[in-house]
Amino acid sequence: MGVRAAAVPADLGDFGQIDTVVERTEQELGPVDLLINNAGIESSASFTRRTRDGLTAMVDINLTAPMLLTHRVLPGMLTRGEGHVVFISSLAGKRGIGYLEPYCATKAGIINLVQSLRAEYSGVPVGFSVVCPGFVMGDGMFQRYLDEGMRAPRLPGHTTADRVAAKVLAAIVRDLPEVHVNSVPLRPLLALAEVAPRFVERLAPLFGADRFFRRASAARGLVDSAAEDY
């Protein structure tokens, strides 16, 4: 396509590699004017069945690492007077799902991080966007469950990696603050949740996401059986 690419591997769970991966990228390709924070991990389990190390690891990779990467490259963008940072969050960051507590918490944190950055740097030519996909079919975390024989919930809708990529590009070109990517429009439900949270809490089980991840957790023996007694 007439452009140069370079692969610079790093373990973003090791914060000591943050500076190294940026420095090596700049050596290969020049100053970073576009950062897409897409790295992330996810697993389903009852909250009480998770380990402390597992909880902190998800926070480290999903929330702290993209914050540190942004902190590392932002001064250069501000000096050059151009740049854009895109964070890949999730619709799970807009509405919590059972058995995904740490994942939902980190993705919600990403959304608020972008809002804060846009507020602080609203007067400079550097942009920040967050893209929130729903279930991504064909690739990624959700597809792993389907490959293991799970059936997708019918109501929440889905999307594809190609559509997510197209929305990322649109967010950069148009400096969009927040983009949702899903085949079923969920903005009305999310808006309703702000004014009628109890009603939406009762409605949410109909979408099947909580049941889906409970089944996935049960298949791995990671469901808190004591909670089932209540």
Q: Return phi, psi of residue 41, to 5°.
A: -130, 155
Per-residue pLDDT at 153: 87
User: What does each of the 230 residues of the chain score in pLDDT, given as a tens digit?
Assistant: 899 999 999 999 999 999 999 999 999 999 999 999 999 999 999 999 999 999 999 999 999 999 999 999 999 999 999 999 999 999 999 999 999 999 999 999 999 999 999 999 999 999 999 999 999 998 888 888 988 888 888 888 899 999 999 999 999 999 999 999 999 888 899 999 999 999 999 998 999 999 999 999 999 999 987 766 55
Q: Quote the crossing angle between the two packed helices 52-59 and 101-120, to the nearest 10°.
A: 30
For the chain, which residues make up each domain, given as ranges?
A: 15-219
* Residue 103 is a catalytic residue: yes
Among candidates 202, 209, 229, which has minimal Cα distance to 44? 209
- The neighbour count for residue 27, using CB atoms within 10 Å, is 10
**Given 3.40.50.720, 3.40.50.10440, 3.10.350.10, 1.10.150.20, which CATH number is that of 15-219?**
3.40.50.720
**CA angle 94–96–98, rounded 5-degree value:** 155
Q: How many helices (H) and strands (E) does the chain have?
A: 9, 6
What does the pLDDT read at residue 228? 62
- Give 188-214 as a 3 state SS string: HHHHHHHHCHHHHHHHHHHHCHHHHHH
Instruction: List Cα–Cα distances, 50 to 102, 104, 217, in angstroms.
Output: 10, 14, 11
Q: 99, 103, 121, 230: which one is catalytic?
A: 103
Whole-number Cα distances in Å, 32 to 8, 56, 110: 13, 28, 20
Residue 155's pLDDT is 84
Query: pLDDT tens digits, residue range 46-101?
Result: 999 999 999 999 999 999 999 999 999 999 999 999 999 999 999 999 999 999 99
